[in-house]
Amino acid sequence: GNCTAPATGEECNWSVYGRGSHPVNCVSWQQAVNFCEWARGRLPTEAEWEYAARGEGSAPRYPWGNATPTCDLTVMMSEAGVAGCDTGGTMEVCSKTAGNSSQGLCDMSGNINEWVQDYWHDSYEGAPNDGSAWLNPSSGDRVVRGGSCYDVEYFFLVGWDYGYYRLSVFNRVGFTSSEQNSGMGFRCAR
């Protein structure tokens, strides 16, 4: 009763038969916060998320290293233009273990974008330098990290190189906190 249900629809995983092991998607920032609090956790800060994706702060381009993203490494838009490596959507959590970070964290890139605590800022100028969340808003938007398997416009309208950037450990995007789309989910931290 502490949490509201995610949105439903064609690409949303909530209550869809056969998607119980897929990441929850179609959740707003507040829904993610509420669930993490219920689970006695919290959303990670943007700095924590990137530190984990980079493998304790090292400098790879992707969680698995610098190799170009493929469907062997992450759940992404296929070269044929079909979401989820030709599955049409998300895939089971941790199904691409070859793409795990050096710490063994899965799905830090691809499958779904992940909400973090921080408000969106155009740059890191003035950001906290202790890993805490940047909570003074420059806008009402919140940050998501990690890339999504649904980023069609980035892969095909702008080009594959930019699409690969969306899967990098340093990619960040701002969305309104009420956004609930199929590429949006979260993970909790403690």
Sites in the chain below the pLDDT cut of 50: 152-160
Place of tokens 């509201």: 4
pLDDT of residue 151: 60
pLDDT of residue 156: 46
> Could you tell me if residue 56 is left (phi over 0), alpha (psi between -120 and 50 degrees) or otherwise beta?
left
pLDDT of residue 159: 45
Buried b (16+ CB within 10 A) or exposed e, 112-126: bbbbbbbbbbeeeee
Over residues 112-162, the pLDDT tens digits come to 999 999 999 999 999 999 999 999 888 889 999 998 887 644 444 444 455
Selection from 189, 175, 28 nearest residue 108 by Cα: 189
What are the phi and psi torsion angles at 65 (to 5°)? Answer: 135, -145
Measured distance CA(10)–CA(66) in Å, rounded: 34
* pTM to 2 decimal places: 0.92
Place of tokens 């092991």: 21
